[in-house]
Amino acid sequence: MSPDAFETEAAAIAADRATGAADLARRALAALAESARAAPADDVGGLRALLERRAYRLADSRPSMAPMATLPRRFLQALGAEEARDLAQLRARAAEIAESLIERSRGAAGEAAAAAARRIGPGRTVATLSDSSTVRRALAHLAPDVRVIVGEARPLCEGAALASHLAGEGIEVALVTDAQLALAMTEADAALIGADALTLRGDTVNKVGSHLLALAAAAAAKPFFVVAESFKRWPADAPAPVFEEMDPAELGHRLDAAVRQRNVYFETVPAALITEIVTEESV
């Protein structure tokens, strides 16, 4: 992967507003695997230095997303323990490490999704928000014997994509504005969201609106589940998460500049509002 091609891919990952944290981190690992195979390097030391630079470049580009902090660091840790006899062998081993982490992440998400589906059980109505790939997988385990209410997740409304996907899978689905989430929880049996990060204190960082959904679930005395692979635990050795605030133009209002428009993407759901964080370790 040439410096130009890598920069293009890194910029695309940094700019992606609709894809979840785990999918983006796996895409970052794929860029590292490709870099390992084909980036310009003269020797073992040169390739190690280049992969380290690229791994941190990717990790730092999405400071709210734990897998973006975790998986590139795991890649570098494993690479550091690797003793390669030459450049060709290091290229192959580094690519294998990255691809194996992609598989482990995908597998962990799948196990977490299966465990979450068992927690919810058949015949229920589930409220969610935004479009988490792990939530998609959990709901796939329950299909078609589940009904889903999806909050659209302003500003980009990726909840609409989830609703369309679920309808295509034969699941009965309703799409609501985020403002209707309290009403949704009066009809739902449980809430289920994914996570961008799990903090050391047991809180969950996820798309803004998740805290409101959790408050509504508590008010309606319904369980609130988070489903996430354990790679979403915020690493103790990474900088603290920074909640990304995006371009206010995404809100779509044309207003006088005197009106400040806020477009914060992520927020923390306090541990006290979470019934259970279901990971692949919860089985």
Cα separation of 151 and 129, whole Å? 4
Q: Which position has the token pair 């779509």? A: 252
Q: Are 73 and 235 in contact (CB under 8 A)?
A: yes
Query: Could you give the dihedral angle defined by the CA atoms of residues 69, 161, 136 and 249, in that order, rounded to the nearest 10 degrees?
Result: 20
For 77, residues 6+ apart whose C-beta sits below 8 A from its C-beta are none
CA distance 44 to 87: 5
Catalytic site includes residue 196: yes
For 13, 94, 137, the CA distances from 38, given in Å and listed in that order, are 20, 11, 33
Taking the least distance from each CB to a copy of itself, the nearer of 84 and 251 is 251
Nearest distance, CB of residue 264 and a copy of itself, angstroms: 6
Q: Which is nearer to a copy of itself, 81 or 258 (CB)?
A: 258
Distance of CA 6 to the CA centre of its chain: 21
Question: Considering 189, 196, 203, 237, which one is annotated as catalytic?
Answer: 196
d(CA 196, CA 113): 15
The smaller minimum CB distance to a copy of itself, of residues 102 and 148, is found at 148
- Closer CB to a copy of itself, residue 178 or residue 229? 178
Q: Which is nearer to a copy of itself, 174 or 238 (CB)?
A: 174
Rounded CA separation 111/280 (Å): 5
Strand 266-269 versus strand 204-207 pairing type: antiparallel
Q: Least distance (Å) from a copy of itself to the CB of residue 109? A: 24
Chain contacts with a copy of itself (rule: CB under 8 A)? 129, 149, 151-155, 157, 160, 163-164, 167-168, 172-183, 207-209, 211-212, 215-216, 219, 251, 253, 255-256, 258-264, 267
Active-site amino acid positions: 196
